[in-house]
Amino acid sequence: MSRVGTDLPGLQNLIKRDPIMYHEEFLQQYEHFQTELEIFKMKAGEPAPAFVNLVNFLGHVAQCYPTELADYPNTLFKLLDEYAEVMDRDTRISIIKVLILMRNKGLIEVIPLLKSFFHYFRINDKQLRALIYTHIITDISTSNKGKVNENMNRQLKSFMFDLLDSDSDLVARKALDVMVELYRRQVWTDARAVNVIATACLSKYPRVSIGGIRFFLGIETRMEEDEEKSREVEDIDIDHHAHSHKTKSRSRDTQKQIAERRRKLRRANTLEGNPRFPAIALVYDPQGFSEKMLNLLKKTKEQFSVRLLMMDLISRFIGYHKLCLFSFYAFIQSYLTAHQQQVTRILVFLVQACHDYVPPEELIPVIRVIADHFVNDHSQPEVIALGINTIAEMFVRVPLLFEEEELLPLIQEIVEFKMNRDKGVMIAARNFLNHAREIYPACLKKKDRGKDAIKTKRPLAYGEEYTRDFIDGMEALGEAIENGEVKIDEEDDEEAWKVVEKKLNLVGEEVTRVKQKPTKIDKEAYEYARGPRKEKNMEANGEMEEEEEEDEALLNESEEEENEENENEEEEEEEEEEEEEEEEEEEKKLTPEEEAEEKERVRQRRIALARELLSKRFISVKDYNVLQGKKEDDSEEEGDSDMEVANKEHPSVVDASDLLGYHKKRKDSIEERRRKAIEGRTQFKMKLKGGGTTNKEKERKKSFVMVKHSKRVTEKLKQSIQEQQQATKKQVRRLQVLGKKANKRRRV
């Protein structure tokens, strides 16, 4: 019994099998633990292997004696609260692992454990922090698996909100990292979690603030990358072992894989029904948040890269929520110089902050600064192209800028660059010209408007939006009514509502299947149609054939003469018709404005016809099939209408390459060519040994059982006496040479 008492792993195994029988041994070890605990408190900084063994033992058998060890977790928590910072590293990690073990067995509540773990982030132990961080993420994810634990989530989010204002920079940063990771894993993706992270952007700790800003700027990209990786893993086919020996383990593994695949498919289907919104869209008060961020940006003394992140976040909030934060444009104006560091990114932030609800008067000073510093004859072509592209994007996002009289000279100046020798500048200027033609051609000179320009076209007024008063397809329905393909007063036909059965042929095309009724055949008519049987003589047939050939020759000659006369008459008639059509077209030639008005009249007439039909009856399947062909033809020929183009939403994130535009690859400088030449030389050098043991050293360390059947050993066994003597002499000679070299080194 004494041997069992000293062997803790063996006793642990026995207790798990029969707790009642070994109850006395357990009580004895529990008394040992209390004694070791008192000793440990007196010298907490020293290693205590006996105490650690007892802690592990009690943690493993706690589920067998829940009454006796009910207060055991609290004892460990108190011990860590008092001595965690001075405790030996291995002892501290062992106690944390025991608490995690008991939590996994359900012996500790999740909220007290996680609250205590967050406070342990203060301890200066990197391994301990990694262990605690991994457990917190895993525990919260597991608790929300299958069914969301709202009560636990609410308490933990409130607790983490308080931790962001903690007196420890490290604890606040770890709390933010936990929330970001849970959002990335799609565990906490609600608005409450996002707003807790938003408060971190305004934190007094710079590293916490940077972490919150980076979350809003890059979390969507990270989640898309994770989804792509998960799709690649899911695309791997399940190995059913269809052509191999069947075993229980293989069938069990296959069933597990099938069940996992079904679970992922079910989860994917549920996620499709619950669309995920961008994190930036879930902030409760975007206007107030942006104003606070701008005030923080004006006061901050952080490095330039941090200020760029703050500008990016503010501009995205302004562009996505269409906020009115006019002081941001005045602030960013001081950074708009051609020699400014990261000026392309700053111009991107300016474009992102432009939208329809920004008054054009607020942007005129900024555009003036860009034109003075970028769009001038003294700047490099790349700088001019960058300035023109930036101004073009601002004009497209705020179309009312085209109507400002102060900017008309600038518009004409930009258009003049359309014939520039540099290709990038020319493309940028022509791009700006095309935008002006689409939105407000009247701001251009007559020669620059284009032949199809409509002078009456104007941008929408401030606050005005394009609203549609019809349904897609109504124009096609009205056209079908005009052509007589669909009738307004047609009564509902039951057969028109029957869906035609469609099947796929071998090629994959749809084939309609039409059932036909069998028809009765008259035997006498059938015999007559077949004609008389061949019962005539060959001679009579020959005479008849000669007469038929003579008649056919005469008929062909007369037919050819008639065809020539008819062709000449048809050609003359076609020429006369073409001349008449050309004269009519010249008379009916309309200006672009008149053509646009005519199209609008036709469109309104067709929509009115469609409304009249819809007010009287429903559209049948037959009518729908007629409209399908017209809808496909219209979609191929026509694009978005002018009003839809003017009202089109612009992305809240702008790519810097869109502003840079086309630029020619420049010739390398002398320093760059020299550096590339040196890199080319070193590329083919023999690389130094990277480390590790050689093959000879590995062979020397192998056991004889592994090498006894190798070629080297078997050849030695087959050697004759003479070959063995020669090998021995060779080895002695080599050792002598090595010894002489070693002596020479010692003398030197």
Q: Convert the pLDDT of each residue in 251-302 to its tens digit.
A: 888 888 788 777 776 666 555 556 678 899 999 999 999 999 999 999 998 9
Q: Is the torsion defined by CA of 76, 77, 83, 88 positive or negative?
A: positive
> Could you count the other beta carbons within 10 Å of the beta carbon of residue 58?
23
Amino acid at 462: Y
Question: What's the CA gap between 5 and 341, in Å, rounded?
Answer: 72
* pLDDT reported for residue 617: 66
pLDDT at 598 over 50: yes
Determine the 3-state secondary structure of 483 from DSSP: coil
236-245, 307-316, 508-517: which has the highest mean pLDDT?
307-316
Q: Is the torsion defined by CA of 629, 634, 637, 640 positive or negative?
A: negative
Note the Cα 180 to chain centre separation in Å.
Answer: 17
Q: Convert the pLDDT of each residue in 19-49 to its tens digit.
A: 899 999 999 999 999 999 999 988 888 888 9
In whole numbers, what is the pLDDT of the chain averaged over residues? 79
81, 115 contact by CB (below 8 A): no
pTM of the model: 0.69
Beta-bridge mates of residue 511: 503
pLDDT at 148 over 60: yes
Q: Residue 654: which residues within 8 A CB-CB, separation 6 or more?
A: 348, 351, 352, 393
Q: Is the torsion defined by CA of 644, 646, 652, 658 positive or negative?
A: positive
Amino acid at 736: Q
Determine the 3-state secondary structure of 257 from DSSP: helix
Question: What's the CA gap between 406 and 429, in Å, rounded?
Answer: 19
Question: What's the CA gap between 574 and 558, in Å, rounded?
Answer: 25
* pLDDT reported for residue 54: 94
* pLDDT reported for residue 516: 44
Q: Is the torsion defined by CA of 670, 671, 676, 682 positive or negative?
A: positive
Q: Convert the pLDDT of each residue in 643-653 to its tens digit.
A: 444 445 567 78
* pLDDT reported for residue 560: 61
Q: Convert the pLDDT of each residue in 421-450 to its tens digit.
A: 888 899 999 999 998 888 888 888 888 887
Q: Convert the pLDDT of each residue in 363-373 to its tens digit.
A: 999 999 999 99
Give percent of the chain with pLDDT exceeding 70. Answer: 70
Of 160, 161, 199, 350, nearest to 283 by C-alpha is: 199
Question: What's the CA gap between 375 and 415, in Å, rounded?
Answer: 11
Question: What's the CA gap between 37 and 74, in Å, rounded?
Answer: 14
Of 87, 169, 174, 166, nearest to 134 by C-alpha is: 174
Of 218, 219, 264, 213, nearest to 238 by C-alpha is: 264
Question: What's the CA gap between 485 and 626, in Å, rounded?
Answer: 7
